Chain A
């Protein structure tokens, strides 16, 4: 059973469209990260959310942490081809933390010009 479920698994859209991807769990997380990974490279940290209900913005990207700290979403406004990549969420659980995070399987986003 995957601890963190990401949806959709694949998303292909045209440049200029908006989109939302989701990261859901039945577990409570002390913090949650979003990463973007481009082909042939390692994941790169985009943001960390730690407070239930928290909203963070990074240019056209908006990240939200659920009130119960079990889920998160990433919304991209006016997507651009440069947003293409694999988006991964990762959560740290306070009860089994030990410095580890659990990763979702990711959402592969393709933005067509």
Chain B
């Protein structure tokens, strides 16, 4: 049982390029989330999804696009990467309900040159 996986684990790209980070979960969790983690800022929510075809902005959505055509996948696209988007990106999932327990992937370390 793979749980939640992210790919790639490491990515180096150049300013202006489009980059897609993949997230896949095998639990059929309703909710999925994308966070970025930077020194001094903790985990900041970029986008989240309550179910397939339902997405909503988080705290820092500018410069990012998401889609969720299938429950198990939640890709995050940087349409035109900027240096400020250099970060570690985490995907997470959770069951619907009040407990909000989230299960995280291993992260993608993205460097934009």
Question: Which A positions have Cβ atoms within 8 angstroms of B?
Answer: 30-31, 33, 35, 40-45, 48, 50, 88, 90, 92, 94, 97-101, 103-106
A-B CB contact pairs (8 Å), 14 listed: A31-B98, A33-B100, A35-B104, A40-B107, A42-B104, A92-B98, A94-B98, A98-B56, A99-B100, A100-B58, A101-B102, A104-B42, A105-B41, A105-B42
Taking CB atoms and an 8 Å cut-off, the chain B residues in 72-113 that contact chain A are 90, 92, 94, 96, 98-107
From A45, A94, A104, B102 is in contact (CB under 8 Å) with: A45
Q: Which of chain B's residues has its CB closest to A31's CB? A: B99
B40, B41, B58, B107 pick with most chain A CB within 10 angstroms = B107
Task: Determine the chain B residues whose CB is within 8 A of the CB of A44 once the complex forms.
Answer: 104
Shortest beta-carbon contacts, A-B, top 10: A42-B104, A105-B42, A92-B100, A103-B43, A99-B31, A101-B100, A43-B104, A31-B99, A30-B98, A42-B90
* Contact A48:B101 (CB < 8 A) given known A98-B56, A99-B94: yes
Q: Range of interface residues on chain B?
A: 20 to 34
| Distance (whole angstroms) from the CB of A20 to the closest CB of chain B | 20
Q: Please determine whether B43 and A100 come into contact, CB atoms closer than 8 angstroms.
A: no
Q: Please determine whether A100 and B107 come into contact, CB atoms closer than 8 angstroms.
A: no
Q: In whole angstroms, what is the CA distance A31 to B94 when docked?
A: 14
